Structure 1
Amino acid sequence: MFILIFSESDMAPPTKKYQQNDKVLCSHGQYWYLAKIVDVQDEKSDNPVYTIHYQGWKKTHDEKIPHSETPERFKEYSEDALKEATEQQKQGSQAASKKRPRKSENEIDIPHTLRKILIDDNDCINRQFKVHKLPVRYTVQDILDEYAKDFETRGIKKEAESDITEGESVNDQVLIIYENGEITASAYKFILGAEGIKDYFNTLLPYQLLYKFERPQYQEVSKGAETKGRKSQEAKPKLPSDIYGIVHLLRLFSRLGSVLKLTPWDSKVRSIINEVCRDFLVFMETHKDRFFDVNKDYQSTTSEYQKQVWSM
């Protein structure tokens, strides 16, 4: 682990503006890399946006960085600074190779094809400055509804609770049932545990499942949903599960392991939850091409929207 110590001048408000073709050291993760400014947008404004290209990296890794973030992201280029940064990268790589990552019992394995969706999503939002078209084509609620129907295609139909003896095994389907605030394992033909995933999703999305660049959009959509909900006494504001879809659901799964650590449940209950999650992920992987299309599901943002983000 490396501790970067900044002087007072490093922490001062940004004053120097950079020009196209300037070389800088740019932070990416925990290290600094040689980069070149290949474009400058809004050059005459107080907060121009720099497009930087990392030397030796593919163009897909180019980033747009507003001037207001340069004190944390940029270092002045010099041969000595580059040598120091390269040495830190080398030492970090050697240290990482000696450590074998330990997998948490709560960690949820996300298939590679679904992880690629998260990678594409990160690129669209944080590099291309796009946002999702909301509500999405297939919301979390839509996905859960189709997941429920999928059990019928597998020959597994939901039966009345009274028809099944507690603890009985039905087609080897283990499900999660909520009773008095606790989770118990019972045998049913229909996985009700997916509703628990939706509850987690609706609770965590505003706080942990959004990028900074998405927050103004969420605030606007939330206001619109509340306004529509108040037009009728029976109408209710839309929940995040009625607005967002597979991408944000996958973000939840990537964090679910750390969330489960905070619960008082024993290893047996967590094992059941993992079983439900694995089955649900297999379903999403099978239908991922319907639920997600990188060419259809995003829209560009205006310069006004981007300025709103950078001012937050």
Structure 2
Amino acid sequence: MPDHLKAALVDDWENVTKNQQLVPLPHKVPAETLLDDYLAFERPHREEGSASLDILEETVAGLREYFNKCLGRILLYRFERPQYIEMHELWETDDKYKSPIETYGAEHLCRLLVTLPELISQTNMDQQSVNRLRDELAKLTAWLGKNMVKYFVSEYETPNSEYSEKVRGV
């Protein structure tokens, strides 16, 4: 992962845990859109029908699946949980909001990317597949590092006191 993405993750951690701020949701560019943009960028570099293209598409599909499954369980800081609960209620009642990947953005996707090695170690993937996945993720993170301004929020929001009280009660 590029150093400036690592720095963004450190800033993200500080904003949420120390400054008690939140990434505004729904995100200006949801992770779903980010991954679609990456596919649109990377597809022309792959031969149609090739194993390379299949691996790219499978990797992105896997990231979408892992993101939706992992967000509520392992990608959130304690301070973000009430916000997640609010969003979860919207996903069930409002057609405009459908899922985590369509609501959360690059900050949370990067948290997934740094968690993936541990998650992958718990699967039965063979070493060759793990190496291919690592290569694909390196390309994605390099691309994301070059496009950070477009995908990361520039400012976190400070929630109201009612929200902070919810956190203390969670």
TM-score normalised to the size of structure 1?
Answer: 0.51
- The list of structure 1 runs, each at least 4 consecutive aligned residues, that deviate by more than 3 angstroms after superposition, is none
Aligned-pair distance for 1:285? 0.5
> In the alignment, does 2:45 pair up with 1:156?
yes
- Identity percentage of aligned residues: 27
Q: Which has the larger Rg?
A: 1
Residues 17-71 of structure 1, C-alpha deviation per residue, up to 9 Å, x if partnerless? Answer: xxxxxxxxxxxxxxxxxxxxxxxxxxxxxxxxxxxxxxxxxxxxxxxxxxxxxxx
- Separation in 2, partners of 1:251, 1:215: 15
| Greater share of residues in strand | 1
Residue equivalent to 1:310: 168
Aligned length: 169
Q: Which amino acid aligns with 1:276?
A: E
Residue correspondence of structure 1 range 130-169 to structure 2 within 5 A: 130-151=21-42, 155-156=44-45, 159=48, 161=49
Q: Which amino acid aligns with 2:162?
A: E
**What is the root-mean-square deviation in Å for CA atoms of aligned residues?**
1.8
> Which one of the candidate residues 71, 80, 83 is aligned to 1:217?
83
Q: SS of 1:130's equivalent?
A: coil
Residue equivalent to 2:68: 202
| Greater share of residues in helix | 2
Aligned-pair distance for 1:194? 1.1
Choose between structure 1 and 2 for higher RCO, CA contacts under 8 A separated by at least 6 residues.
2
Residues 48-96 of structure 1, C-alpha deviation per residue, up to 9 Å, x if partnerless? Answer: xxxxxxxxxxxxxxxxxxxxxxxxxxxxxxxxxxxxxxxxxxxxxxxxx
> In the alignment, does 2:132 pair up with 1:241?
no
Aligned-pair distance for 1:158? 6.3
Mapped contact 2:21–2:157 kept (Cα < 8 A)? yes
Residue correspondence of structure 1 range 16-27 to structure 2 within 5 A: none
Aligned-pair distance for 1:157? 5.7
Structure 2, unmatched stretches of 5+, are: none
Q: SS of 2:45's equivalent?
A: coil
Residue correspondence of structure 1 range 98-117 to structure 2 within 5 A: 110-117=1-8
Q: Which amino acid aligns with 2:125?
A: W
Residue correspondence of structure 1 range 288-307 to structure 2 within 5 A: 288-295=148-155, 298-307=156-165
